[in-house]
Structure 1
Amino acid sequence: MPRDDDTLFDALLARDPAYDGFAYVGVKTTGIFCRLTCPARKPKRSNVVFFSCRDAARDAGFRPCLRCKPLAVARPVSGALEALKDRIKDEPDRRWSAADLKALGYDPSTVRRAFQREYGVTFVQYARSQRLGQAVNRLQQGGTVLDAQLDAGYESGSGFRDAITRLIGDAPVRTTARRILTAQWLDTPIGAMLAVADDAGVHLLEFAERKALPSEIKRLHERVGAIAFGRHAMLDALAEQVGRYFAGRLAAFSIPIAQKGTDFEASVWAALQQIPIGQTRSYGELAREMNRPEAARAVARANGANQIAIVVPCHRVIGADGSMTGYGGKIWRKQWLLEHERRMAQTSSQS
C-alpha cells in the first residue's frame, strides 16, 4: 500500500478507509491529528503532516481529534447505533417503533440510515430479528408456543406463526424437530460482519455490505437449515478470536469450519488456510501448490465461493501481476486486511 505524502493526501480527500489505522494526518493550524477518514472539513495541503502511527503523531505534539477518535481501536460509528443496540440487548422482547425513537430523542430517519449502513437492515428489522431469534431459542429449549409468542411481543398467534415460518420455513410447533443455525452480528474495525454457526462450527462469516450475502444466506438455509439470531458458544468463541485477530494478537484461527461445498472447493479452502499470514498467492501459485497447475480458473471460482471471510483467508489471493483482484467484501477491505497482516507478521518476526 503506497504511503508517500501525495498519495496520503489524495486518500485524505477521498476519505479512503483502506488507510484507517495505518496512516494519520496532523493539522498544523489546529494541532490536532485525525484518521484519514475524518468527516471534518479538509485542510490545505501545506497545513498537513502525515504519520504512520498514533504514537508518532502524539510525540510530535498533536492532540487526538474528538470527532474521528484516532486513539480508538474500532472506527467510530453513530452514537445512536451503539446506544440502541444496548437498549435492544437490555430489552430483547420490546417491539420498537419510530415513536419510541422520537421519545428517546433520536431522529428515526437518521437511526434507519445508521443501521442500514452498518448492518444492511433498518433498526426495526434489526430489533425484530433479535426478538424472533429469542423466540426460536425458547421453542428449541422446550418452551411452549404461547410463551415464545409472548416473549416475541406478538399479540396475534397467527402473526407470530407467520413470522417464525418465514424465518425457519416451518410452523412453530415443529421447530424442535428442525436444525437451527444461530446468527450474530460481529462488529469489527472495518465494518459489521454476519456470523452463522452451530455445534459443528462456523458456516458463514461475511461483511454486511457483501452483495452476495442474501444469496449465501438462502443457499445456507437450503443446504443446512433455518437461521435465527441468538446466542451460541461457537459464536462467542468466534467473536473472541476475531477480536484478537483485529487487535493484532492472533495469527491463526482454531475455530472449527463447517461450510459445505464440493470436494474441490473444500480442498481450495483448506489450501487458503495454509497461506502464512503476511504472505499472498496468485490463483496459479495456489493451484500449483495443490498439485493442480491446470486448475487456476477453478481455484479462482472456489476462492469466490468461500463464505467464511478472514478465517478462511481468501483475501490473501491476488493477481499474478500483484494487483488487487476482486473481493466481495470490497477491495479497500482486502488492502486493509493485507496491510494489517503484514504488520502482524513483521512484529512477530522481530519478537
Structure 2
Amino acid sequence: MITLDRKQEYYEALVSKNTEYEGLFYVGVKTTGIFCRPTCPARKPKFENCEFYETAQQALLASFRPCQRCRPLSHPNHVSAVIRTLVEAVERNPEKRWKTQDFRELAIDESTARRQFKKRFGMTFVEYARARRMGIALKNIRSGRSIIDSQLDTGYESSSGFRDAFARIMGTAPTRLDGEHVLKATWLDTPLGPMLAIADEQSLVLLEFVDRRGLEREVERLRIREKAAIIPGRTSPIDEIEAELEQYFAGTLTKFQTPIRMIGSPFQQSVWNALMQIPSGETRSYQQIAISLGRPTASRAVARANGSNQLAVIIPCHRVITSGGELGGYAGGLTRKDWLLKHEYAHREQVGTEQESS
C-alpha cells in the first residue's frame, strides 16, 4: 500500500525527473491512460491525475498502457529489440493469447523473450501479455459501462472484432448474454490495492486482489463451472461486501455478514469453514487445522485447500501460518498477509483495552 506521503514523494521525483527513483515506481496518468517511468520527458500531469505503482505489472493490471516516449518496459540504458518488438505487437492486439507460432512469425525465440522480460521486469512476456489483457477487462469492469461503450472505449472499429475480444476475456460474446446464467463483476478499491468481486443476485462467489497470480485462470474456471457469463455490473452482495470491506479496513468490523457461496470439493469447504472459525487477531497452523478436521496427516491437503480459497479476507486464509510460526504462502502476497495479521491483532488489542476500561 502506497501512503499519501509516499505518493507526494513520488510526485516530486516525477516533476524533477529524479533518476534515483528509476525502478522504484511507475506513474499511471488518468487523463491519457498511459504509465511512465519517473524520468519521462513528457509534460507532467497534475497530482490528482496520477496513480502510483511499485511494479509495471500493477500498472498494466490497472489498465494503463506503456508510454511510447519513456518506454517503461525497457531498461533505461538499453532498449532491447526483442522487448520493443513484442511490446509493440501486444499493443496492436492487446487481447491476443500468445502461442508458439506467434513468436515464430516474429522471428523471436520464445525462451529468449521469456528470459529478457523476466530479467528486466520480474515477469515473463506471457505474464506481461496476460496483465495487459486482464487490465483491459478490469477497466471495463471498473467503469461498469455498457457493452457498446466498452466497444468504443477499447477502440474496436468493427463489432465482430469486439465480440471476439470480449469472448476471450469474459467467456461469452455480448449478444449471447440474454437468457444465460449471469455473474456480475465489479472493481473495488481497498487500502491494500484493488479487488475483483464477482457475484450473482444471491451471493458473492469470488473476491480477489486483482494482481493475484493466476486470477484470469481462476475467473475462467469459475465461469466454466458455473456455466455462466461474467459481465460488468453490481448486485446486492457486491454492495454489501464493499460496505463491509470499508468497515473492516477501518478496524470496526471483524466478522463478515455478506452472503457467500463456496465453490469447491467437500474437503475444501470443510477447510474453508474451519478458517472462518479462527478469531480475528489469532492464527492457526496447517497442522492445527488438519487436527481440528480429524485428519492430522492432511496438512498438505489443508495447505492446498487454503491456496484455493476464492474469497480473500472473508475466508481468512491469511490467518494460517506454518508450524514454525512463519507466514508461509499467500496468493495475495506476503506483504499483504503480514499487514492483515498486524491490522487484525492491533484491532483485537484495541477492543480488549476498551472492554477493560468500560
Could you say which TM-score interval applies, normalised by the shorter chain? 0.5 to 0.7
Distance in 2 (CA, whole Å) between partners of 1:122 and 1:148 is 13
Distance in 2 (CA, whole Å) between partners of 1:251 and 1:293 is 28
Tell me if 1:234 matches 2:237: yes
Distance change (3 Å), C-alpha of 1:148 and 1:127: closer
Distance in 1 (CA, whole Å) between partners of 2:27 and 2:33 is 19
Distance in 1 (CA, whole Å) between partners of 2:253 and 2:302 is 27
Distance change (3 Å), C-alpha of 1:153 and 1:232: farther
Distance in 2 (CA, whole Å) between partners of 1:211 and 1:160 is 26
Count of residue pairs brought into register by the alignment: 261
- Residue 197 (structure 2) aligns with: 195
- Residue 319 (structure 1) aligns with: 322
Distance in 2 (CA, whole Å) between partners of 1:155 and 1:38 is 37
- Residue 85 (structure 2) aligns with: none
Contact 2:275 2:317 survives alignment (8 Å) = yes
Distance change (3 Å), C-alpha of 1:343 and 1:262: same
Distance in 2 (CA, whole Å) between partners of 1:208 and 1:248 is 23
Distance in 1 (CA, whole Å) between partners of 2:45 and 2:149 is 32
Report the CA distance between 1:105 and its aligned residue: 5.0
Distance change (3 Å), C-alpha of 1:339 and 1:123: same
- Residue 206 (structure 1) aligns with: 208
Report the CA distance between 1:134 and its aligned residue: 3.2
Report the CA distance between 1:230 and its aligned residue: 2.1
Give runs of aligned pairs for residues 56-71 of structure 1, distance below 5 A: none
Residue 313 (structure 2) aligned to one of 300, 310, 313: 310
Tell me if 1:179 matches 2:181: yes
Tell me if 1:331 matches 2:342: no
Give runs of aligned pairs for residues 292-307 of structure 1, distance below 5 A: 292-307=295-310
Distance change (3 Å), C-alpha of 1:311 and 1:118: farther
Distance in 2 (CA, whole Å) between partners of 1:185 and 1:126 is 10
- Residue 56 (structure 1) aligns with: none
TM-score (norm 2): 0.62
Contact 1:196 1:205 survives alignment (8 Å) = yes
Tell me if 1:120 matches 2:61: yes
Report the CA distance between 1:346 and its aligned residue: 1.2
Tell me if 1:276 matches 2:266: no
CA RMSD in angstroms comes to 3.8
TM-score (norm 1): 0.63
- The answer to which of 237-246 and 119-128 deviates more is 119-128
Give runs of aligned pairs for residues 1-351 of structure 1, distance below 5 A: 40=9, 84=30, 116-117=57-58, 120-123=61-64, 125=136, 129-130=140-141, 134-136=145-147, 156-224=158-226, 225-351=228-354
Contact 1:287 1:294 survives alignment (8 Å) = yes
5+ long unaligned stretches in structure 1: 1-16, 22-33, 42-65, 68-76, 88-95, 137-145
Report the CA distance between 1:169 and its aligned residue: 3.5
Contact 1:183 1:227 survives alignment (8 Å) = yes
Distance change (3 Å), C-alpha of 1:340 and 1:214: same
5+ long unaligned stretches in structure 2: 14-24, 35-41, 66-135
Given residue 308 of structure 1, which amino acid in structure 2 is its aligned partner?
Answer: L
Distance in 2 (CA, whole Å) between partners of 1:216 and 1:343 is 32
Identity of aligned residues (%): 41
SS in 1 for 2:160: helix
Given residue 317 of structure 1, which amino acid in structure 2 is its aligned partner?
Answer: V
Given residue 220 of structure 2, which amino acid in structure 1 is its aligned partner?
Answer: K
Report the CA distance between 1:334 and its aligned residue: 0.9
Report the CA distance between 1:252 and its aligned residue: 0.3
- The answer to which of 224-233 and 149-158 deviates more is 149-158
Given residue 135 of structure 1, which amino acid in structure 2 is its aligned partner?
Answer: S
Report the CA distance between 1:294 and its aligned residue: 2.5
Given residue 145 of structure 2, which amino acid in structure 1 is its aligned partner?
Answer: Q
Report the CA distance between 1:176 and its aligned residue: 0.9
